[in-house]
Amino acid sequence: MIRISTAPARPLTDLEEFKRSPDFLILEQVVITSTQLLQKSNQKYDLDSSEGQKICKKYLNLLEKLCDVTDFSLFKTVFSHF
């Protein structure tokens, strides 16, 4: 009996490789959290409420984590295509 074989997987592009990286996952969390920040009518972030403080703290922690783990050369490679 003959078995059909599939073609080998093609190598990942820089963008596909980036999307699978921990850097991308953290960046994605930063972007999502940034949309959850509460803004007052005067265009400043709400740090008076406990909910506003909680979201802002989460956002800042994620930014710090992103700075700690990010390989900026990878960012330059990926974003140079845009």
Alpha helices (H) in the chain, listed in sequence order: 14-19, 22-36, 50-69, 72-79
What's the pLDDT at 58?
94
Spatial CB neighbours of 9, under 8 Å, sequence gap ≥ 6: none
The pLDDT > 70 percentage for the chain reads 82
To which residue do tokens 């009996």 refer?
Answer: 1
Give residue-wise pLDDT tens across range 47-69.
899 999 999 999 999 988 888 77
For the chain, give every domain's residue range: 14-79
- Of 31, 24, 77, which is closest to residue 58 (Cα–Cα)? 31
What's the pLDDT at 5?
73
What's the pLDDT at 29?
93
For residue 78, pLDDT beyond 80:
no
Q: Are 24 and 17 in contact (CB under 8 A)?
A: no
Average pLDDT over residues 29-46: 89
29: alpha, beta or left, given left = phi > 0 and alpha = psi -120 to 50? alpha
Model confidence, pTM:
0.65
